[in-house]
Amino acid sequence: MVSVPGKKERRGIMMPDKKFVALTFDDGPTVGITDQVLDILQENEVVASFFVIGQQITDETGYLVKRAHDMGCSVENHSRTHRSMPKLSREEIVSEIQYTSDRIEEITGEKPEFFRPPFIDYDRKMYDLIDLGFICGYGCEDWVPSVTAQERIDRVLQVANSGFIVLLHDMKDNYNTVEAIKTIIPELKKQGYEFVTVRELFRRSGVKPQRNVTYMGANEVREDSTV
């Protein structure tokens, strides 16, 4: 048998029953949390996507953005200041996005392709102004400190479906999510899921992200997302 590098993987992409999952982490980079998330991803040999807040990318945190990118993770846009955007002016919205995209590109050399609206608040104006794919995904209320690691695990595993996006947070003190992914990742792996970035999720699902919709997964649009 002759082994052709890359061939096996390509054949895998064509498999119709292939299950993909994209883990995403919002509100970083956060020293002490994002590092741990990256360690766990590395130990499990998987990738994820980080939706970063522009104003949090500083001399102290920039290395986390670089490390995520170098590990094959994608770094995407979660605004500059994390304000609810529908009430901002057109100029403010453009500047929120531009600033964050520029900071990401400075560090990684790549522009973001996706955007997650702060608080998942969005309106038609934002679709018109922001030239990025809008992502929501399935959350487990992991921004609520009282939601335990086990509850986070259970909720994510409950909604698992092929092509789904998991919405998590690498925000300050979010140790419960650090704990939760230590179980979520191996469990989804055991169930046959392949971990991909949001970009890869769409590419490999053969879906071109449309404008004017917000995605829960590559094959699922958020209800009421056509505003």
Considering only residues 17 through 56, tell me which ones interact with Zn ion, judged by CB under 5 A: 26-27
User: Per this entry, what is the length of the chain?
Assistant: 227
The CB-of-141 to Zn ion minimum distance in angstroms stands at 13
The CB-of-18 to Zn ion minimum distance in angstroms stands at 30
Q: Is 142 a catalytic residue?
A: no
Which residue, judged by CB position, is nearest to Zn ion in the bound state? Answer: 26
The CB-of-197 to Zn ion minimum distance in angstroms stands at 18
Number of residues binding to Zn ion, judged by CB under 5 A = 2
β-bridge partners, 75: 50
Distance CA(27)–CA(135), nearest Å, equals 14
Considering only residues 149 through 208, tell me which ones interact with Zn ion, judged by CB under 5 A: none
Residue 96 binding Zn ion, by CB under 5 A? no
Point out the catalytic residue in the list 27, 78, 142, 169: 169
Under the rule (CB under 5 A), what is the footprint of Zn ion? 26-27
**Active site residue ranges:** 26, 169
